[in-house]
Chain A
Amino acid sequence: MIYSLYISMTDYNIATGVRNFINFENYRSALFDVEHLRSIKTTFIFIIGTVALSTSIGLGLALILNKYSKGRSIFVPFLLMPMMLTPVVVGLMWGMMYNTDFGVIAFLLRTIGIKRGSWTGDPSTALLTVILTDVWQWTPFAMILLLSGLQAIPQEPFEAAQIDGASKWHMFRYITLPLLKPILLIVIVFRIVDSIKVFDVVYTLTAGGPGTTTEVISLFIYRTCFRFFRMGYASALSWILLIITVILCEIYIKLIRE
């Protein structure tokens, strides 16, 4: 790690072998690098989309599964399946289904009248396809943790509320949600941290394209380092990313200790 800190202060380029100590120059240029800032923005949109969707869908499914216990043991293992799959395979699999020429999604959408070019190749829909794919894989994670949280909630407050004539929405809003809050926070933080790291799915589904519309931060660092061989700059970028993650972790730990 310390070595990488040193590297991050040089203009080390593996291809040319140049290596001069340039102090914090890399960090300064990272702050003004348009591509870097754009990849942060893409990551940010990706995080908001995937975390919001996977958590809310996961919560919905968990609520249903919690209430209707009949058949739960049959549904749950199948619903968990996406989570177990190799992310690379998930990316390729969805890439195949999104495919314009013979993909099954394109086909289904065409039969109901929505005609599009390529879903992964169109700049306006590419990020959406990546988000949906990630949501598909990680909703089960949110679902199963929230379900175990729901099952730990005692029944008494609900019975009391029912006697008082509370509506379903009120019971959810004022009993379930506050009691579920700690685990909901954990799920959200976990999803955020995992989304910052996202690489496999994007790499196999769109490889950051078309252009750079789906280039998340991991992919940007990867490209800087292993396509342009700018080790020094890439190390600096890694350190910035690490610092962002550490700050998030600190917030997380604070939340847990409360």
Chain B
Amino acid sequence: MISPHMKRNIEAISAYSILLIALFLAVFPTFWILSTSLKTREDIFAMPPRWIFTPVLENFKNVLTGFPFLKFLKNSLIVSAANTVLALAIGCPAAYSFSRFKFRGSKDLAFWILSLRMAPSIAFVLPIYILFSKLGLLDTQLSLILAYFTYTLPIVIWVMMGFFKGIPAELEEAALVDGSSRLGAFFRITLPLSLSGIWTTAFLCFVFCWNEFLYALILTGVNARTVAVAVSAFNTQRGILWGEMGAASVIAIVPVLALSTFIHKHYIKGLALGAIKR
């Protein structure tokens, strides 16, 4: 006879074992690529896989010296940062007016902007490609900064709309009564109050730009190539350079993981706001 107490214990144990298995599955591939990046060529191809080995930094050295990888890192950084800042600068005022003013068709317009986020990039990349080739913008950082607006602007507008709606309009009205202008009220009161929202949104935009692949693959060549494309390029005609690819992958995911560790609470909130408050 199993007592209720024992039954509860068994349940808890099985629940935590499931969680542990999930944890292992979630972390293992990342651990594996990290270990690959630290292995020598022989260790990588060893069968059965070698769990214990002497780590070497050779792959990282090859990636950073043998390829213009630093340039690609710089490209990614410039494109992601510039797009994030500009999307926030354009998107925040737009989100603010959506959240405060009702005008004809404002709801339809807001949903139309949201549908941009839902539309598949492959459907946009063609007209953008043709347009940019006419303008001579292909393979420039500017082309990616502009192209990513199709995704980051809707994100900024929708998430920030949620945050602005959470800030009582009375606060601004008080400022207006005290002789501040509408713009002054926005900059001095609403914006500082939604700072945590701005960080969240900035993180979402930055991660998107950093990870984006399709636009970067199509719109850039050698000059403006980003890290995501560069990583996939280690899959060369002569075979896959596994060690180098592992090292490049690690370099590509480290910035995002580092950012996420100290912002992940905000990140979850942003995701929830972006998804739920629609």
Please give the residue numbers on chain A whose beta carbons come within 8 Å of chain B beta carbons, in ascending order. Answer: 1, 3-4, 7, 60-61, 64-65, 67-68, 71, 75, 77-82, 84-94, 96-97, 101-102, 104, 107, 111, 136, 140-141, 144-145, 148, 183, 186-187, 190, 193, 196-197, 199-200, 203-204, 217-218, 221-222, 225-226, 231, 234-235, 238-239, 241-242, 245-246, 248-249, 252-253, 256
CB-CB under 8 A from B90, the residues of chain A are none
Given A67-B15, A183-B276, A241-B120 in contact, is the A96-B33 Cβ separation under 8 Å? yes
In this complex, which of A7, A231, A242 has the most chain B Cβ atoms within 10 angstroms of its Cβ? A242
Q: Is there an interface contact between A85 and B256, defined as CB atoms closer than 8 Å? A: yes
Contact B249 A84 (CB under 8 A): no
Contact at B268–A88, with CB atoms within 8 Å? no
Number of A-B contacts (CB under 8 A): 195
Question: Which A residues touch B52, using CB under 8 A?
Answer: none
Partner of B29, one of A94, A148, A217: A94
> Chain B residues in contact with chain A, CB under 8 A?
12, 15-16, 18-19, 22-23, 25-27, 29-30, 32-33, 36, 44-49, 111, 114-115, 118-124, 126-127, 130-131, 207, 210-211, 213-214, 217-218, 227-229, 231-232, 235, 242, 245-246, 249, 252-253, 256-257, 260-261, 264, 268, 271-272, 275-276, 278
Residues of chain A within 8 A (CB-CB) of B33 are: 89, 93, 96
Complex Cα distance, B256 from A256, in Å, reads: 32
Tell whether, in the assembled complex, residue B257 and residue A81 are in contact, meaning their CB atoms are under 8 Å apart.
yes
In the complex the two chains form, what is the Cα distance from A238 to B128 in whole Å? 12
Q: Which residues of B contact A253 (CB under 8 A)?
A: 111
Which residues of B are found within 8 Å of A218, using beta-carbon distances?
120-122, 214
| Shortest Cβ distance from A216 into B: residue | B122
Judge whether B19 and A65 touch: CB under 8 Å. yes
Q: Name the residue of chain B whose CB is nearest to the CB of A12.
A: B130
Contact of A4 among B46, B127, B218 (CB under 8 A): B127
- Chain B residue nearest to A252 (CB atoms) is B118
Instruction: Looking at the assembled complex, report how far the CB atom of B34 sits from the nearest CB atom of chain A, in whole angstroms.
Output: 10
A239–B36 Cα distance when bound, in Å, is 42
Given A4-B127, A64-B19, A199-B214, do A86 and B26 touch, yes or no (CB 8 Å)? no
Q: What is the distance, in angstroms, from A230's C-beta to the closest C-beta of chain B?
A: 11
Structural contact, A88 and B26, CB atoms closer than 8 A: no
Tell me the complex Cα distance, A226–B125, Å.
11
Contacts of A78 in B (CB 8 A): 23, 26-27
CB < 8 Å neighbour of A96 from B15, B18, B32, B126: B32
Residues of the A chain whose Cβ atoms lie less than 8 Å from the Cβ of B264: 77, 80
User: Other than the known A81-B30, A85-B253, A96-B246, what 14 A-B pairs have Cβ atoms closer than 8 Å?
Assistant: A89-B249, A89-B253, A96-B242, A102-B45, A102-B49, A111-B48, A140-B26, A144-B271, A186-B278, A203-B217, A218-B120, A242-B120, A246-B115, A249-B118
Cross-chain contact B231 with A245 (CB below 8 angstroms):
no
Q: How far is the CA of A194 from the CA of B277 in the complex (A)?
A: 19
- Bound-state CA distance A65–B268 (Å) is 15
Identify A86's interface contact among B19, B130, B253, B271, CB under 8 A: B253
Cβ contact within 8 Å between B49 and A104: yes
Task: Contact check, A64 vs B18: say whether CB atoms are below 8 A apart.
Answer: yes
